[in-house]
Amino acid sequence: MADQYEFLTKDNITDYLSSKQVFAELIDANNLVEFKEVGDGNLNLVFIMKDSSGRGIVLKQALPYVRLVGPDWPMTPSRARIESETTIIHSRFAKDLVPEIYDYDPDRFIIAMEDLSDHVVWRGALNSGLRFDGVAGPLGKYVAKTAFGTSIFGLGQEQHKLEAARAINPGLCLITEDLVFTEPYFENGRNSVLPSNEKDAQELANDKEMVNEIGLLKYKFMTAAESLIHGDLHTGSAMIKCEDKKEAVSVKAIDSEFSFYGPIGFDLGALVANYTIAAARACALGNIEQMHWALSLGEQTWVEFEKEFRKLWPSRVDKRVFTDQLLEELIKTWRADTLGYAGAKMARRIVGLAKTSDIETLEPNVREGAARAVLQIARKTTKERNQAKSWAALAKEAAEIIQKTATK
Ligand code: SR1
Ligand code: MG
């Protein structure tokens, strides 16, 4: 039975590390000087261990249920296999932008990977008002490299189909289909907002044009097997190392357990959504400069994505009918998809289960306005996604909404 396996604890971790030859060169299991459980996500246990010579390792174990809710919400632990396989595959195309995987244990659903303790979670840095450049661009590059490499253009027709079949991830896709695309519009007992935002949530659910767009985006999410996408690429899925406190020297996309063959715009949209959420927080805390900076990140991610994908395009496997004209059409479609998914991801983080600390840690008096702004921007961005507005125009509109709806 998949749910009958031993969970990692402080007491059994030394035995676990000693039991596998692969760890012998990576860490001295009998001289562990540091042990931390750092899992702050919604699903898993995450441990960081260091030995007396300073070498570290991370063990991430999937529980047979959703950690955020508990055993009442069972969830396949084989998501750990998906994460380890996707990280390894993505490393073939973007080695520097993902953590190194050392081992995957299919009996206990444990991934052993590179210790990134010298990095910080980007969301945490953003929440503290820190402004690191050199993150949004590399994340766009990560999406482009992995999207091209795992697409028909990178793999060819047969391999693409085999890979899409291998990466099938129905349990985790179902979470996204429900939480992102359905529940913000059709309450399922898991939504919540401040009483002062109830009208905003109701307006979202009653917005027929929005619901129609969400239907199109959900259908595409469920059917468009474009590439092996990350599947949950928010600012909490990016770890950054910043030595001089201005420019990141290392960026790593982590936590790809929601990965599957899906639409490329989904990952880009998730990033844009989370930049908007960070901007709403910044304004709520009175940091207008930080708000404008956060709103400029979408353009950085998109520009790097487009530049990198165009660079890779000439190396596509089959050029016969996949002409340069097709690339132009795809870029246009992916831009509209990005904006559509951005709105969907903004709305779910305000109304549905699994919210963001950016908004949730604000005092209710200012949270009200920030949440209202994100919902209004979500609706506008998704519904107007085909209008080919410049990134500067999108950022300006968002800034105006955020400032106009701000509460004190
Ligand atoms: C029940 S899991 C809730 C959310 O956590 C992850 O970060 C995904 O975004 C998922 O939707
Ligand atoms: Mg995650």
* Per-residue pLDDT tens over the stretch 62-107: 999 988 888 999 999 999 999 999 999 999 999 999 999 999 999 9
Closest CA to 76 of 101, 111, 38, 109: 109
The alpha carbon of 391 and the centre of ligand 1 are apart by a number of angstroms equal to 28
Which of the four pLDDT bands, split at 50, 70 and 90, describes residue 3?
A: low
Nearest by Cα to 316 from 158, 153, 161: 153
Q: Whose CA is nearest to atom 4 of ligand 1?
A: 354
Q: Is 179 in the pocket of ligand 1 (CB under 6 A)?
A: yes
E-strand ranges in 249-319 read 250-253, 260-262
- 158 CA distance to ligand 1 centroid (A)? 32
Mean of the pLDDT values across residues 43-67? 95
| Ligand 1 pocket, mutate which of 172, 179, 353 (most atoms under 8 A from CB) | 179
* pLDDT tens digits, 131-157: 999 999 999 999 999 999 999 999 999
Q: Is pLDDT at 1 greater than 60 in this prediction?
A: no
Helix orientation angle between 264-284 and 391-405, rounded to the nearest 10 degrees: 40
Q: Is the dihedral of CA 263, 268, 272, 278 positive or negative?
A: positive
The candidate with the shortest Cα–Cα distance to 44, out of 62, 58, 57, 59, is: 62
Would you tell me how many other CB atoms lie within 10 Å of the CB of residue 168?
Answer: 11
Cα 38 from Cα 18, distance rounded (Å): 21
288-293: which pairs have CB atoms within 8 A and are 24 or more residues apart? Answer: 288/403, 290/129, 290/131, 291/399, 291/402, 292/395, 292/399, 293/131
Distance 337 CA to ligand 1 centre (A): 20
Report the distance separating Cα 46 and Cα 66, nearest Å: 14
Q: Is the pLDDT confidence value at 358 over 50?
A: yes
**Ligand 1: distance of its center to the CA of 42 in Å?**
6
- Verdict on whether the full-model pTM lies above 0.85: yes
CA distance 29 to 19: 10
**CA–CA distance from 80 to each of 19, 112, 121, 220, 252 (Å)?**
20, 10, 20, 25, 18
> 250 CB under 6 A from ligand 1?
no
Could you say which ligand is closest to the alpha carbon of residue 270?
A: 1
Tokens of 350: 């305000």
Range 340-357 average pLDDT: 98
Q: Which residue has the higher pLDDT, 39 or 333?
A: 333
> Is 32 touching ligand 1 by the criterion CB < 6 Å?
no
The one-letter amino acid at 174: L
Percent of the chain predicted with pLDDT > 70: 99
Beta bridge partners of 47: 37, 59
Task: State the residue for tokens 């919604």.
Answer: 42
Whether 240 and 132 have beta carbons less than 8 Å apart is answered as: yes
Pairwise CA distance, residues 171 & 177, whole Å: 10
Residue 373 confidence class, pLDDT cut points 50, 70, 90: very high
Task: Find out whether the beta carbon of 66 lies less than 6 Å from any atom of ligand 1.
Answer: yes
Q: Number of H helices and number of E strands within the chain?
A: 15, 12
pLDDT score recorded for residue 76: 94
When pLDDT is cut at 50, 70 and 90, the band that residue 183 belongs to is very high
Residue for token pair 């253009």:
153
Sign, CA torsion 181/184/188/191: positive
Q: What is the CA radius of gyration of the chain?
A: 21
Cβ atoms within 10 Å, residue 42:
15
Q: How far apart, in whole angstroms, are the C-alpha atoms of residue 352 and residue 363?
A: 19
Residue 108 has pLDDT above 60, yes or no: yes
pLDDT of residue 287: 98
C-alpha–C-alpha distance, residues 336 and 265, integer Å: 8
Q: In sequence order, what are the residues at sequence separation of 6 or more whose Cβ sits closer than 8 angstroms to the Cβ of residue 357?
A: 123, 124, 127
Cα(315) to centroid(ligand 2), Å: 32
Please, what is the average pLDDT of the chain? 97
Q: Which atom of ligand 1 is nearest to the CA of 175?
A: 11
Task: Tell me the pLDDT tens digit for each residue of 267-319.
Answer: 999 999 999 999 999 999 999 999 999 999 999 999 999 999 999 999 999 99
Evaluate whether 371 touches 352 at the Cβ level (below 8 Å). no
pLDDT band at residue 385 using 50, 70 and 90 as cut-offs = very high
Q: Would you call 45 helix, strand, or coil by DSSP? A: strand
Helix (H) or strand (E) holding 102: strand 101-105
- Ligand nearest, relative to CA of residue 190: 1
Residue 148 host element (H or E): helix 136-149
Does ligand 1 have an atom closer than 6 angstroms to the CB of 287? no
In three-state secondary structure terms, 8 is coil
- CB atoms near residue 198 (< 10 Å): 11
pLDDT of 388 above 70: yes
Tell me 6's DSSP state: P
The finding on whether 42 has its CB within 6 A of some atom of ligand 1 is yes
pLDDT at 39 over 90: no
Q: Is the pLDDT of residue 120 over 80?
A: yes
Average pLDDT (197-217) is 98
Token pair of 94 as six digits: 């973007």
Residue type, 403: Q
For ligand 1, atom 9, the nearest C-alpha belongs to 232
Query: Quick one: pLDDT at residue 2?
Result: 52
Which atom of ligand 1 lies nearest, measured to the CA of 232?
Answer: 9
Ligand 2 centre from 80 Cα, in Å? Answer: 11
